[in-house]
Structure 1
Amino acid sequence: MRILIVDDNASMRKVLAALFSSLGHQVVAALPDGSAVESTVQQTAPDLVCLDYHLPGRDGLSILRAIQTMAPEIDVVFMTASSEAGIEGKAADAGASGFIRKPFGQEQIIAELKAVEETRKLEKASAQRAASGGAARKGRRGTAVIADDNGSVRLVLKALLEESGLQVVQMVSNGNEAVVAAKAHQPGLLCLDVNMPVMGGIDALPLIKEASPQTAVVMVTGEADKTMVAQAAGLGAVGYILKPLRPAYVEGFIRRLFG
C-alpha cells in the first residue's frame, strides 16, 4: 500500500516509516502537522493515512473528516495516546478504518494493517463485480439497505454485505432517507448508523419498523454503550455492528442472523 504518515513526533514518523517499508509498503510522505494533508493527499494519492490525534494547529478528527469528504476510498488508521472518553468511537464514526492506542508494539500496527488490507481486498472485489454486472460471491440471502453518513463506511459495509450474499439495493446518508428506502424496498436487512445528521438512527428506527415491519434492523456504531443497545433493542433492532468494520465480525453476524 501507499501510506501517508501524519504525526508531530519525529521519532514516531521515523519508526513507522521504517516498519512500513520493511513490510513492503511505500511511504509516500511523512508530515509533522495537518496543515498540508489535503494537498499531500491530492499529490501522492495514498491508499492509507496513519493519522495522529493531537497535532499542532488541527486535531486528527477534523483532518479525518476532511479526508473522508474529499476521498472516502482512502483508509485512515487513527493513532492516539489520549485518554479522552469516547475518542475511539468518535474516530470510528468519523470513518477511521483502524484505531491504535499509543504506546503500541509492532505486532499491533501490523495486525491493524492486515485487517485494513483484508477489508480493502473485499471492497475492491465488490466494486469490480458491480462494474461487470456480476452477483455477490455467495448464495443470495436477500436484500439490504445501508444508512450511514460516512461515505467510506457505506462502501466498506456494502462490500462486506455483498460478500455475505446480500444484495445492497440502496445506500443513504440520514435517518429520513432510511425510512423512505425501507418503505420503497422492504429489505430483509437495514444497517442503520446511530449518529447521523437530519435524523439519527435511534429516532429513525421505530419509523423504519412501521414502514417495513419484516425488515431486520441492525445498528451500526463506533461505541455500543449499554443504554443505546437497550434502547435500540426495545425499539426493534436485532443487534449491532461495531466500527471499524471487520470482515470476520460482519460475516459472522450475518451468518447468525440469516442462517
Structure 2
Amino acid sequence: MKILIVEDNASMRSLLSTLFKSQGHTVVGELDNGNSVLDDIHRLRPQVVCLDYHLPGKNGLALLKEISTDYPDIDVVFMTGSEDGEIEKLAADAGAAGFLRKPFGQKQIIDELQQISALRQQAMATESTAGNAAATAAVTAKQVPAASCGRKASRTAVLVDDNSSIRLLLKGILVDYGLDVVGQAANGEEAIHAAEAHQPSVLFLDVNMPILSGLEALPRIRAASPHTAVVMVTGNATRELVQQAAGLGACGYVVKPVRPAYVQNFLNKLFKR
C-alpha cells in the first residue's frame, strides 16, 4: 500500500518509514506538520495516512474529519500519546480506520495495516462483483421497532453513515455474509425514506450524522418499517447512548472502527445462526 506519514517527531517518522518499507509498503511522503496535508494527499495519492493527533499548524482530529470528507477512500490510522479516552471515540466517529496509542509496538502497527489491507481487498472484491449497480445505491433508508429483533424472512440491508468508506466497508462485510444491500444513505432524513422504500430486514444506522442524527431518525424509522432490525453504529458507545437507543427500538450496536468478526457475530445472533 502507498502510505503517507504525518508525524512531528522525526525519530517516529523514521521508525515508521523503515518499518513500512520492510513490510513491502511504499512510503509516498513524510510530513512534520498539519499545514499542507490535504494538498499533499491530492499530490501524492496515498491509500493510507498515518496521522498524529498533536501537530503544528492543525491538529490531527480536524485533519481526520477533512480527509474523511474530501478523500473517503483513504484509510487513516490515528496516532496519539494522549491518555484522554475520549480521543479514540472522537477519532472513530470521524472515520478513523485504526487507532494507536503511543507508545505502541511494531506488531500493533503491522496488525493495523494488515487489517486495513484485508478490508480494502474485500471491499474491492465486493465492488467488482456488485458492478455499477452498487454505486447507485446511495438512496435513503428507513427505521424499525425493538420487537423486530429476531429472525428475518428476507436477507436485505440498508446502510446509513455519512462516511462513504464506512458504508463501503460494511457493505463488503454484509455481502460476504449473504445479505443483499438494497440501499444506502448519508443522513437521518435519507435513512427514513430508504427504510420506507426498501423495508429491509436490517438497517445499520450511524449515530452522528448531518440533518438528522441516528437517534433523532430512529423513532421515525421504526414507524416507517416496523419489521426492520436497526443496529446503531458509533464510536462512542456510552451506557447512556446504548440505553437511549434500546429504548427507541434499536436491536444493538456496532462500535467503530468496524471489525468484520464483530459484525458477523452480531448477524449470527440476529439471524439465529
Alignment-mate amino acid for residue 75 of structure 1:
D
Q: Which residues in structure 2 correspond to 1:60-75 (within 5 Å)? A: 60-75=60-75
Within the alignment, does 1:117 sit opposite 2:130 as a pair?
A: no
Per the alignment, residue 51 of structure 1 pairs with 51
Q: Which residues in structure 2 correspond to 1:67-146 (within 5 Å)? A: 67-131=67-131, 142-146=155-159
Contact map agreement 1:144 1:169 (CA 8 A) in 2: yes
Q: Which residues in structure 2 correspond to 1:1-259 (within 5 Å)? A: 1-131=1-131, 142-258=155-271, 259=273
| Distance apart, 1:71 and its partner CA | 1.5
Residues 150-201 of structure 1, C-alpha deviation per residue, up to 9 Å, x if partnerless? 1211111111111111111111111111111111111101100111111111
| Distance apart, 1:85 and its partner CA | 4.0
Q: 2-side partners of 1:133 and 1:236: how far apart?
A: 31
Contact map agreement 1:119 1:246 (CA 8 A) in 2: no
Alignment-mate amino acid for residue 162 of structure 2:
D
Alignment-mate amino acid for residue 160 of structure 1:
I
Runs (4+) of structure 1 exceeding 4 A deviation are none
Per the alignment, residue 139 of structure 2 pairs with none
Structure with the bigger RCO (C-alpha within 8 Å, sep 6+) is 2
Structure 2 unpaired stretches of 5+: 135-152
TM-score, reference length from structure 2:
0.89
Report the count of equivalent residues: 254
| Distance apart, 1:141 and its partner CA | 5.9
Residues 12-67 of structure 1, C-alpha deviation per residue, up to 9 Å, x if partnerless? 00000010011111111010011121121122211100000110010111111221
Q: 1-side partners of 2:238 and 2:257: how far apart?
A: 16
Alignment-mate amino acid for residue 232 of structure 2:
M
Q: 1-side partners of 2:120 and 2:35: how far apart?
A: 27
Alignment-mate amino acid for residue 58 of structure 2:
R
Residues 191-228 of structure 1, C-alpha deviation per residue, up to 9 Å, x if partnerless? 00111111111111111111100000000001211111
Q: 1-side partners of 2:199 and 2:128: how far apart?
A: 27
Cα separation, partners in 2 of 1:210 and 1:20, compared to 1, 3 Å: same
Q: 2-side partners of 1:162 and 1:77: how far apart?
A: 25
| Distance apart, 1:83 and its partner CA | 2.2
Q: 1-side partners of 2:154 and 2:12: how far apart?
A: 46
Q: 1-side partners of 2:133 and 2:256: how far apart?
A: 29
Per the alignment, residue 137 of structure 1 pairs with none
Q: 2-side partners of 1:37 and 1:177: how far apart?
A: 32
Q: 2-side partners of 1:87 and 1:118: how far apart?
A: 25
Between the two proteins, what is the percent identity of the paired residues?
55
| Distance apart, 1:133 and its partner CA | 6.7
Q: 2-side partners of 1:141 and 1:105: how far apart?
A: 45
